[in-house]
Amino acid sequence: MATVAPYGSWKSLITSDLIVGGAVSYSDVVVVADYIYWIESRPAERGRRVLCRRAGVDGSIEQLTPDGFNVRTRVHEYGGASYLVEGNVVFFQNFADQLLYRHEIGSEPKAISSAGLFYGDFRFDRKRNQIVGIQEDHGISDIEAMNTIVTLNPAGPNADGGAVVVSGTDFVSDARISPDGTKMVWLQWNHPMMPWDAAELWLGDLDSDGRVHNQVQIAGGNGSSVFQPSWTPGGDLIYVDDKSDWWNFYRYRNGEFEHLAAQEAEFGRPAWVVGMSTYAIIDDHRLICAIMRQGTWSIGDLNLDTGQLTEVPTPFQDVASLSADGQIVGFVAGAPTMPTAVYRHDLATGETVAIAKGTGTPIDPSWLSAPTAISYPTSDGQIAHAFLYLPKNPDYVAPEGELPPLIVSSHGGPTSATGMTMNLSYQFWTSRGFAFLDVNYRGSTGYGRPYRDALQDTWGEYDVDDCVYGAQYLVGQGLVDGERLAVRGGSASGYLTLAALTFRDTFKAGCSLYGISDLEIMALETHKFESRYLDGLIAPYPEGIEIYRERSPLYHIEQLNTPLILFHGLEDKVVPPNQSELIYDALKAKGVPVAIVLYEGEQHGFRQAANIKRTLDGELYFYSRIFGFTPADAIEPVEIANLPAVA
């Protein structure tokens, strides 16, 4: 029989220790012949990224990265595709020294590049026996590094960097050489645009040394953005473009363009990292792709001859990092009750098997709150979207008449999206008696370009409104307690949290993880990739300085009177830690209950198991003190200024 206990005080088997104990995330899947390669990010190893592979012959799995190496590039700061496989050799960027290494499997890695030069998004040019990829030169400055496409000698030493083949723009990515080695395409864009605003697709001829000639823009720009160009074996160019207001497939062949499988659906993602892959070409007639409709991903099979798209029934609702070779497809996928894993699919047999998944304890589905997709009215007569998770714990029920506290969360970016893959951090809350609303505010991807562009000039307004209106909608539905509403989020969503607490009066508590309190500091001090991002989201800087100050919580501290906890990494170069320290000092001085936790050795986002655990537990402790319940967990207290200590 279930125990009657107040919401928030329920004891849960989904503990912070369980979450970090087997926590592993997966990315960068590459299929080569009989092998599938991928990157594992391991919080238990202080966030180290490890290259692994599975042999198709016997199914054995091995870790390729030697101890002490971390396969992660800082290209565009967020990184992405950080390794290349060519035969029995792996080339990878090591995070600590940002050197490019040549690793002949079975031997020690050998550095083949110089300090101050970052590399990523590689391809191997077999015709000329050289590597092609992005080079980011930080010898100029940390803010305005120089980004170019270069060729590199795979044997090294590349002491002076690679031979530059594309330059003159602020950003480049996706250099892809045609199968016959005579042409190359790439993406480029300039400040103040981001890649999802106006990435341009360029095409050029290659000479015998791999230099580019006769380069010409063939797509993108002028209000559209190209994503993931790829060549078919026969030399057709496939790419994704959002000029129809949806990221759809296009083909370029013999100077002619064709829109393939026109859909009100997304086949691309915002390129926060380089080398993202939402589809894999099988042959000249077929590709396998990920499809996003209304915030949910599925798998599709596209016939390139007829343009017919067939959706493949699977249990997955999030799909990413597709790669294929021959009849074998590798990808990362998950679902609301299925943790994210690496999968191998055999097109010949139809067999799909998980080949890498976390080592944590499996969770009985009776503990898992399944999300419900909701849409609700928001400001200016528009509609916002979210996923709602209600409290669920088979061992407990709440006292009659009590409504649960609500945590409103949202993704960072802000140009990004939240999905429905099982997230044990969400279940951490619902299994303790919280309702959890995960918001895809206006500005999110997956709902067409007009929805994504709705945040242009309105950041700090529409996204805040959508979280506020979402909370009020659930209160109006009688589903949550209007006096126990919290808002939380990281990075851009950390800013949303601070703005919601400052400029609205709906929420009673907040949690900002590496969030922004002063937009001007963000514009002046962040890294190159985002240094002009706010021009579109807010206004050009410095011309729009007054708008920056109007929307910066730190300039309106007199309006911020809601209890707040902050978490930040001290090595964060995306959002400097002083963004949290300034807001903490200001609230402490004016007597508002406030707490801050700073982490040595953490960058933007928390990768270390101990810090992930401390953040979950600390946030729960904070809410227990503010909302007045006693958590079942034994938690190390967080020091909260301006709040009496527990007797």
594, HSE (Cβ side, Cα atoms, 13 Å): 22
What does the pLDDT look like over 411-451, one tens digit per residue? 999 999 998 888 999 999 999 999 999 999 999 999 999 99
Q: Is the pLDDT of residue 90 over 70?
A: yes
Same domain, 481 and 377: yes
Residue 536 parent element (H or E): helix 533-537
pLDDT at residue number 409: 98
Bond preceding residue 414 cis, omega within 30 of 0? yes
C-alpha distances in angstroms, 175 versus 134, 385, 573? 8, 35, 27
What does the pLDDT look like over 563-590, one tens digit per residue? 999 999 999 888 889 999 999 999 999 9
Give the contacts of 616 (CB within 8 A, at least 6 positions apart).
16, 19, 425, 428
Same domain, 272 and 367: no
Position 219 in a domain: yes
Locate tokens 């390729």: which residue?
64
Contact 62, 362 (CB under 8 A): no
Query: What is the rounded CA–CA span in Å between residue 449 and residue 244?
Result: 9
Query: What is the rounded CA–CA span in Å between residue 583 and residue 596?
Result: 10
Q: What is the CATH number of the domain that holds 263?
A: 2.120.10.30
Position 637 in a domain: no
What does the pLDDT look like over 31-42, one tens digit per residue? 999 899 999 999
Q: What is the pTM of this model?
A: 0.94
Query: What is the rounded CA–CA span in Å between residue 185 and residue 218?
Result: 10
Same domain, 267 and 367: no
What does the pLDDT look like over 302-321, one tens digit per residue? 999 999 999 999 999 999 99
Position 459 in a domain: yes
Q: Is the pLDDT of residue 334 over 90?
A: yes
Of 521, 610, 540, whose CA–CA distance to 191 is shortest?
A: 540
The residue out of 226, 244, 276 marking a domain boundary is 276
pLDDT at residue number 143: 54
What does the pLDDT look like over 370-422, one tens digit per residue? 999 999 999 999 999 999 999 999 999 999 999 999 999 999 999 999 988 88
Query: What is the rounded CA–CA span in Å between residue 353 and residue 61?
Result: 14
Give the domain range for residue 432.
Answer: 3-16+363-627
Q: What is the CATH number of the domain that holds 453?
A: 3.40.50.1820
Query: What is the rounded CA–CA span in Å between residue 391 and residue 234?
Result: 53
Query: What is the rounded CA–CA span in Å between residue 588 and residue 583?
Result: 8
Give CA torsion, residues 631, 632, 634, 637, to 10 deg.
0
Of 224, 235, 223, 268, whose CA–CA distance to 249 is shortest?
A: 268
Locate tokens 């930080």: which residue?
138
Q: Is the pLDDT of residue 142 over 70?
A: no
pLDDT at residue number 47: 85
How many beta carbons lie within 10 A of that of residue 407, not counting itself? 28
pLDDT at residue number 295: 87
Position 546 in a domain: yes
Position 312 in a domain: no
Query: What is the rounded CA–CA span in Å between residue 167 and residue 321?
Result: 28
Query: What is the rounded CA–CA span in Å between residue 289 and residue 242?
Result: 16
Position 61 in a domain: no
Position 66 in a domain: no
The residue out of 239, 257, 276 marking a domain boundary is 276
Residue 623 parent element (H or E): helix 609-627
Query: What is the rounded CA–CA span in Å between residue 55 and residue 356?
Result: 12
Q: What is the mean pLDDT of the chain?
A: 95
Position 354 in a domain: no
Domain total for the chain? 2
- 588-610 in b/e form (b: 16+ CB < 10 A) is eeeebbbbbbebeebbbbbbbbe
Give the contacts of 273 (CB within 8 A, at least 6 positions apart).
76, 78, 79, 80, 81
The residue out of 276, 298, 324 marking a domain boundary is 276
141 pLDDT band, cuts 50/70/90, is: low
Give the contacts of 550 (CB within 8 A, at least 6 positions apart).
none
